Structure 1
Amino acid sequence: ILCKRYQAYWMSGAEFPHEIGIFLGYPIEDVKGFIHHHGSNDLFTGYWKVYARMPAKQDLFHRFEEIRKVMLHFLTFGLRMEKIIALIHGIED
């Protein structure tokens, strides 16, 4: 069903299937909140719109931002993505 809805969106401009956020790794409670509230009334907007557990999501967004900065730093020194991911994985363990 999701594939058909996405194809309809892509081909004819039908409503975007917001449940695709689940496959992008968004927390299900936020995907459900987005659908239920039609994209409005979120508690906070970061990498996605947050509808539940705002403090935990803010902490997660902060971690994403810190890792993004580290990745950009290493990229400027010419490190390959695989090496950067291995370094970050070591930092996170």
Structure 2
Amino acid sequence: MYSFAKNVEMRVQDPGEGTVSASGSSFPECRQIAGFKQTLEEKLGIPVKPKKPLTPFFRFMGQIRPTVVQQHPGAKVTGEDTISSP
């Protein structure tokens, strides 16, 4: 319906009189009520927690990937050059 933005005056289309400013009409003023506040984690530089825990496959790949990369340095991640194919 109406879009509110920071530091922008809201204007309303009045069918009889054209455009009317929000401060001159019965509509409430558009102003910023709450500011952005940093959380304690953001202030201390703590990374954001993941939303879900890692699946067993991703934990397995985290353990096995360094050895595979070391054994096959030229292999591509996308599977174009698969290691397991004959």
Q: If the length of structure 2 is used for normalisation, what is the TM-score? A: 0.29
Which is helix-richer, 1 or 2? 1
Which is strand-richer, 1 or 2? 2
Q: If the length of structure 1 is used for normalisation, what is the TM-score? A: 0.27
- Greater Cα radius of gyration, structure 1 or 2: 2
